[in-house]
Amino acid sequence: SLPCMLRGGEELLAELCERWGIQPGGTTADGKITLELAECLGACDGAPCMLVNDELTLRVTADDVEKQVRGVK
């Protein structure tokens, strides 16, 4: 959405795709991470944000995403 885009969401997505070697909708070779796009998570004030196993995180960076996703069992 526009707030995420203005706050670096597109760059974040590109960085994650590069790090994990997948495109949106794809899954890493180890089958542990699937990267999905969401039009809006309803947290514009905290954009860009992510949802991992129903947990919303605001103002994320690529390093934040990596840490949280790799910590999920």
| For range 30-59, the mean pLDDT | 89
pTM equals: 0.81
pLDDT digits (tens, 9 = 90+) for 14-29: 999 999 999 999 999 9
Pairwise CA distance, residues 45 & 4, whole Å: 9
Which pLDDT band holds residue 7 (cuts at 50, 70, 90)?
very high
Pairwise CA distance, residues 21 & 46, whole Å: 26
CA-CA distances (angstroms) from residue 56 to 21, 30, 51, 64, 68? 24, 24, 5, 12, 11
